[in-house]
Structure 1
Amino acid sequence: MSDSVFILVLLPISLFVILFSLGLALTLDDFRRVVVYPRGVAIGMANLLVISPLLAVGLALLFKLPPELAVGMVLLGASPGGTTANMLTHLAKGDTALSLTMTAISSVAAVFTVPLLLDLATQWFMAGDAQYTVAMGPIVVKILLITLLPLSIGMWVRSRAQAWSLRNEPLVKKIAMVFFVLVVFAALWAEREHIFGNLASVGLAVLSLNVLAMGVSFGIAKLAGLDGPQSTAISIELGVHNTTLAMAVGAMVSATMIIPAAVYGVFMFFTAGAFAKWMHARNS
């Protein structure tokens, strides 16, 4: 598969299917639930929007990643929670309702937060390189189309055909998972030369981000007085990102920027799955 086919065809289609499947699982009550869990949502969103990007920046500097990979790390840290986080939270006996709410809100907020952090990261790591000047307007519009449009369509279908949505949601999620696996391996193959040249540093960086983000967010949630299921939901939300969105946004600037998210997509199921299994026993 050529890079252009991957970037122009498979990546947008995969993101559309993944976010449509999320929308199919959401109702307006998932957004209203912020009133029910104000502290849990506030702490979870603070972790997603502040702690995770800062960890990504720190690790990019620590591992001395090349500029494009460093920006890709920040995009990864800035990306919202993924749909798989909700499933793993359920398996871990965590607060699935809180997980759904955080995924919904962070996916909408990503329209503004992801391009903002992309701009800041590009200015920081690529200062003076005119080739990578980010035009915020077009990127915001593109992110709006590739995130809110499929999410809204999924929610609209759920509201108009609830019985059909509930019956077919598991199938749509399985299809979304197939697309996710395809897009991760297509990204790894398309950028294999760059990956092999930076495999050790990128692999250690994204694995560190995954483990640190889950550990730090769990600790913050517990220190804030949240219970085990809520802390579990927040931690898994920080461990399972929508890496397809991070890749799609990175590809708008440079194909190399997709590498951290692609490599992260391989690791996150093993680490987050192990954490979910451990918390299942603790939350039972």
Structure 2
Amino acid sequence: MTGAGFTGALLPLSLFVIMTSLGLALTLADFRRVVLFPKGVAIGLGNLLLLSPLLGFLLAKLFGLPPELAVGMVLLGAAPGGTTANMLTHLARGDTALSVTMTAISSLAAVFTVPLFLGLASAHFAADGVAPNLDMVGIVKKVLLITLVPLAFGMAIRAALPAFAQRVEKPAKNLAMVFFVLVVAVVIWAEWHNLGGAIGKVGPAVLALNVLAMGLSFQIARLARLDSKQSTAIAIELGVHNTTLAMAVGALVSPVMVIPAAVYGVFMFFTAGAFAKFMHGRNAA
């Protein structure tokens, strides 16, 4: 099997494991918090679903990325929060409940928002014929299959067998992390011939997206008078995306589109982890 073929097989499997592990940690109460704490959830999701993709657009233009990489950059920005954001928020003494709720709801919204931004970015950047005839209905169906189905599967296990779900939740998250590291490594290996010439632009572009998204979202949350713990949760959610989803959707169109998310996945834990460590002391006061 070629590198591209292996990547195409590994990405959906990895995403299934990751989304199932997220479902194991969720209950319906995590979704009800949007009613109980509307301000924090609304600001957090506004940053995640609008600010982050917009930054992806702007930075792709600013760094002059080629069309396929530019679309991949927007896909990265549009990807929902990742499960590791919940752990880092907890370590930072942030509002973990808010983090879990944002991850849950943004994962549901991704069924529509990720294909939407894929279409918008393709139309804007791909003037030379890259992905001119996207099957958006087909892509929505595939995103539904690789996100909501495993998420619902994990939640169903949690609802039916709560003791079992709690017992396997940590091993499932560890397995999801193993799959994440593996898929990033395989993607970088498979696309090394494309990555070599693009790393000079892709690296700084995705680093700028990470830092700006965390910094701006934290400041927006503070200006909205959310407390430090809520602002921490929102910033980390903007820093740790579900990059596997971005790669899986990008791979449906072009292997090159997975590169920004793969590169982002290499260092996002370091930047978000450093922010979490910094906020740990401040939130303890």
**TM-score range for the pair, normalised by the shorter chain length:** over 0.9
Q: Which runs of 5+ in 1 are unaligned?
A: none
Q: Aligned partners of 1:151 and 1:205: how far apart in 2?
A: 31
Note if 1:181 corresponds to 2:181. yes
Q: Give the total of aligned pairs.
A: 284
Q: 1:68 to 1:130 in 2, by over 3 A?
A: closer
* RMSD of equivalent CA atoms: 1.0
Residue 26 of structure 1 corresponds to which residue in structure 2? 26
Residue 200 of structure 1 corresponds to which residue in structure 2? 200
Letter in 2 for 1:245: L
Letter in 1 for 2:266: V
Structure 1 residue 29 displacement after superposition:
0.4
- TM-score, normalised relative to structure 2: 0.98
Q: Do 1:132 and 1:253's aligned partners in 2 also have CA atoms closer than 8 Å?
A: no
Q: Do 2:92 and 2:276's aligned partners in 1 also have CA atoms closer than 8 Å?
A: yes
Letter in 1 for 2:182: L
Q: 1:162 to 1:200 in 2, by over 3 A?
A: same
Q: Aligned partners of 1:130 and 1:199: how far apart in 2?
A: 20
Note if 1:52 corresponds to 2:52. yes
Q: Do 2:7 and 2:183's aligned partners in 1 also have CA atoms closer than 8 Å?
A: no
Letter in 2 for 1:163: A
Letter in 1 for 2:68: E
**SS at 2:81 equivalent:** coil
Alignment of 1:66-81 (within 5 A): 66-81=66-81
Residue 154 of structure 1 corresponds to which residue in structure 2? 154
Q: 1:130 to 1:166 in 2, by over 3 A?
A: closer
Letter in 2 for 1:228: S
Letter in 2 for 1:54: L
Structure 1 residue 127 displacement after superposition:
2.5
Alignment of 1:202-217 (within 5 A): 202-217=202-217
Letter in 1 for 2:41: V
Q: Aligned partners of 1:125 and 1:255: how far apart in 2?
A: 16
Structure 1 residue 131 displacement after superposition:
4.5
Q: Aligned partners of 2:178 and 2:47: how far apart in 1?
A: 29
Matched residues, percent identical?
Answer: 68
Structure 1 residue 5 displacement after superposition:
2.9
**SS at 1:198 equivalent:** helix
Q: Aligned partners of 1:2 and 1:91: how far apart in 2?
A: 40
Q: Do 2:240 and 2:272's aligned partners in 1 also have CA atoms closer than 8 Å?
A: yes
Q: Do 1:6 and 1:187's aligned partners in 2 also have CA atoms closer than 8 Å?
A: no
Q: Do 1:122 and 1:133's aligned partners in 2 also have CA atoms closer than 8 Å?
A: no
Q: Aligned partners of 1:66 and 1:204: how far apart in 2?
A: 14
Q: Do 2:213 and 2:235's aligned partners in 1 also have CA atoms closer than 8 Å?
A: yes
Residue 129 of structure 1 corresponds to which residue in structure 2? 129
Q: Aligned partners of 2:167 and 2:223: how far apart in 1?
A: 40
Q: Which runs of 5+ in 2 are unaligned?
A: none
